[in-house]
Amino acid sequence: MIETGRPHSARIYDYLLGGKDNYRVDQQAGDELVAAAQERAVARANRAFLERAVRHVVGAGLRQVLDIGTGLPHSPNVHEVALEVAPDVRVAYVDNDPIVTAHADALLRSSDLIGVALADLRDPQGVLEHPQVRQVIDFDRPVALVLTSVLHFLTDAQEPQRAVATLRDALPAGSCLVLSHATDDAADCRAAQAVYATATTPLTPRSHPEIEKFLDGFELLPPGLVPAPSWRPDTPATPRPATTAIYAAIARKAT
């Protein structure tokens, strides 16, 4: 069901990134977040990491991307970044928000190489079996699993570890996990959490060791699990915002 009376994480994020696919409630929540923290900088740092990560995994030879919690379309979208590196990349976009998948379907499903699925990370088997996912992803070949800025929208009771493990076990060796996750290690997230408490999904920031556990069964690529702006920055000399509020990593499944 589409809920427009309460702020929603996808539409708040869209507002923070300067998009138009959001409602007054989302704008109010976004403004409160900006007042509370460096949320806009965090959203941009996360998005910039996502672009660098997609370029990296496609550059390393992966030709399939399963992007779960994809968010409202923002150019450059994952497939646009990927296609700049290789023209034969296949991308499955998955989100549990019908507004996101309606927009994604209209804007992104431009070819048979792209699928859009309405499915929920809390039901990883349902994601793996979704016809739109199956249509573009061959699970016998390596996959880049993208879980950026989504696992913190699952509470511990919703078993995010189990969801990631189920997805990992479905991937062949050579696959990669692209991960980013909010943390309260260095930043005070209480104000942001208070805003998300009024939204459709609460925010659950986690510590470095807790986030590292999502990478069990994968081998971390250098520089490891680090603040998103520090993950292989394009221009090391560029001053980085204080966005330790989100950690990022790429890890590879070896066996």
Which of 44, 95, 179, 246 touches ligand SAM by CB under 6 A? 95
- The distance of closest approach from Cβ of residue 82 to ligand SAM in the complex, given in angstroms and rounded to an integer, is 14
Question: By rule CB under 6 A, what count of residues binds ligand SAM?
Answer: 23
What are the phi and psi torsion angles at 73 (to 5°)?
-55, 135
Under the criterion CB under 6 A, does residue 77 sit at the interface with ligand SAM? no
- The distance of closest approach from Cβ of residue 185 to ligand SAM in the complex, given in angstroms and rounded to an integer, is 19
Complex with ligand SAM: residue 84 or 120, whichever CB lies closer: 120
What are the phi and psi torsion angles at 145 (to 5°)?
-90, 115
Under the criterion CB under 6 A, does residue 3 sit at the interface with ligand SAM? no
Under the criterion CB under 6 A, does residue 153 sit at the interface with ligand SAM? yes
Under the criterion CB under 6 A, does residue 10 sit at the interface with ligand SAM? yes
Question: Strand, helix or coil at 219?
Answer: strand
Complex with ligand SAM: residue 140 or 234, whichever CB lies closer: 234
Stretch that binds ligand SAM, among 8-16, 30-38, 101-109, 207-215 (CB under 6 A): 8-16
Give the chain's length: 255
Distances from the Cα of 195 to the Cα of 7, 14, 112, 150, 203, angstroms: 9, 16, 39, 16, 9
| Residue 197 in tokens | 């408490």
- The distance of closest approach from Cβ of residue 10 to ligand SAM in the complex, given in angstroms and rounded to an integer, is 3
Instruction: From 151, 138, 139, select the one nearest 249 (Cα to Cα).
Output: 151
What angle do the packed helices 24-36 and 190-197 form, to 10 degrees? 170
Instruction: From 178, 223, 139, 235, select the one nearest 59 (Cα to Cα).
Output: 178
What residue ranges bind ligand SAM (CB under 6 A)? 9-10, 13, 46-47, 50, 68-71, 95-97, 100, 120-122, 148-150, 153-154, 201
